[in-house]
Amino acid sequence: MRGQIEKALEIKRYREKKWLAIPGVTAIGIGVVGDNHMGIIVSVEENADEISKKFPNYIKGIMIEVRETGKLKATEGS
């Protein structure tokens, strides 16, 4: 699991700026995807099916999953 997290973080760092420039993409994160493995989660406001065509399914064995989250809002911490 640790190796997967490190690999996912490396991919995220390398591609995050480019991916966030894609219209509709709101966030890039690391989390549990697909069949309970660590992967990269690409959050989009809407049209996940269409936007997911711009991403590979896997990079270096790490799954990339596009999720429709709606518009994200920052909240004030306590």
How many domains are there within the chain?
1
Residue recorded with tokens 């990269």: 40
| Structural domain boundaries, residue 57 | 2-68
Give pTM, 2 decimals.
0.87
pLDDT at 1: 65
| pLDDT tens digits along 1-38 | 678 899 999 999 999 999 999 999 999 999 999 888 99
Instruction: Say if strands 62-68 and 58-59 run parallel, antiparallel, or are unpaired.
Output: antiparallel
The first and second tokens of residue 74, run together, are: 């920052």
How large is the greatest C-alpha to C-alpha distance in the chain, in angstroms?
Answer: 39
CATH code, domain carrying 50: 3.30.300.50
Residue 74 in any domain: the answer is: no
From CA 25, how far away is CA 45, in angstroms rounded? 7
Residue 29 in any domain: the answer is: yes
Residue 49 in any domain: the answer is: yes
If you ran DSSP here, which 8-state letter would residue 57 be given?
A: S
Phi, psi of 36 (to 5 degrees): 65, 40
pLDDT at 50: 95
Residue 41 in any domain: the answer is: yes
